[in-house]
Chain A
Amino acid sequence: MVSVGTIVWLASELMFFAALFAAYFTIRGVATGLWEQETAKLNIPFAFANTTVLVLSSVTCQLGVFAAERGQVGRSGSVLNVAGWGLREWFVLTYAMGAFFIGGQVFEYAALIGENVTLQSSSYGSMFYLTTGFHGLHVTGGLIAFLFVLGRTFMARTFTHEQAVTAIVVSYYWHFVDVVWIALFATIYLLK
């Protein structure tokens, strides 16, 4: 039931991002000169590295889900023994990678504001910050959700089916946000 609800909600989230993509392509269609001038300021290698971290965090998130499906909440050996990691270790790593992505985005914003690309500067600035900003807010929401999953595992004495379901639906959300970012990255940094 929870996972069906999550998918229905993610479908509506997809259409929220559809509106942002539509707005981006619409304004890009009428302001091609502005796009050529402003996209030259983007730091593509930096954004690519940041994207790689986010994509890999989906992998670590899924490994956490596999651990949850085995019913393994904590690690079986030492922290350095990655093969013995449980849900908690994988989700903490995923959290760190997601936080790294957000930190990278802050650096990127700071550099762009330094080059006079702001929310008010032009329609390009508005679209850049609206699309990446709303995505960043979604990643931040996901990070909070990871904390709640981890909190639930520590609040209860036993690892219940409900906790596994929570971990699974949070992973659905994380994969969704990740795929949206791949589309956004392709749109903003590659397609320009």
Chain B
Amino acid sequence: MKAEAWVFGFLAVFFLVVAPSYWFLSSDPTGTAALVMSFFLAVLVAFYLGFHAKKMDPRPEDRKEAEIVDGAGELGFFPPYSWWPLWCACALTLCVLGVVFGWWLALVGVGAGSVALIGWVFEYYRGEHAH
């Protein structure tokens, strides 16, 4: 993971040079704010990747002598299917339409959204999945 951390580290250095240069050459607050925040974006990702690179063992993609099969196995838990994201999206649509048609519709969206979000978060904590 060190390679990825370095990519974002270089990006951070790039923005660290570009942001002040841009400010001194243009005195434009809009672009400077965007460049400064881009610097922080690169720092955030570089810090996260660097932090995890230290804690974990080298992955197959970090080792020169690794084989394709070394990467086999479980990556994480992925729900086979779930309808809750759809209901969450529908509820959010109602909230956004509420801005257009009237706040009462947004309130309906918040109500529907609470049910959908609770359903999504606790999908594998209840019913036959309770553990």
Q: Which residues of chain A have a CB within 8 Å of any CB of chain B?
A: 1-3, 7, 10-11, 14-15, 17-19, 21-26, 28-29, 144, 148, 151-152, 155-158, 160, 162, 176
Binds A, one of B28-36, B63-71, B84-92, B99-107: B28-36
Count of chain B residues with a beta carbon within 8 Å of a chain A beta carbon: 24
Say yes or no: B131 contacts A7, CB within 8 Å: no
Bound form: Cα–Cα A144–B130 in Å? 22
Query: Given contacts A1-B76, A11-B45, A25-B33, is CB(A18)–CB(B38) below 8 Å?
Result: yes
Query: What are 20 sample pairs from A and B whose C-beta atoms fall under 8 A apart?
Result: A1-B76, A3-B48, A7-B44, A10-B44, A11-B45, A15-B38, A18-B34, A18-B37, A18-B41, A21-B36, A21-B37, A22-B29, A23-B30, A26-B33, A29-B29, A144-B117, A155-B125, A155-B130, A157-B131, A162-B77
Q: How far is the CA of A7 from the CA of B41 in the complex (A)?
A: 10
Which positions in B face A, CB cutoff 8 Å?
Answer: 29-34, 36-38, 40-41, 44-45, 48, 75-77, 117, 121-122, 125-126, 130-131
A14 touches B29 (CB 8 A): no
A14 touches B121 (CB 8 A): no
CB <8 Å contact, B32 and A25: yes
Question: Closest CB of chain A to B112's CB: distance in Å?
Answer: 15
Min CB–CB distance B49 → chain A (angstroms)? 8
Selected contact of B33 from candidates A21, A148, A162, CB within 8 Å: A21
Asked if B121 and A25 make an inter-chain contact with CB atoms under 8 angstroms apart, the answer reads: no
List the B side residues contacting A23 at CB < 8 Å: 30
Contacts of B41 in A (CB 8 A): 11, 14-15, 18
In the assembled complex, which residues on chain A have CB atoms less than 8 Å from the CB atom of B130? 155-156
Instruction: Contact check, B45 vs A25: say whether CB atoms are below 8 A apart.
Output: no
Shortest Cβ gap from B78 to chain A (Å):
8
Closest to B33 in A: A22
Q: How far is the CB of A168 from chain B (nearest CB, A)?
A: 12
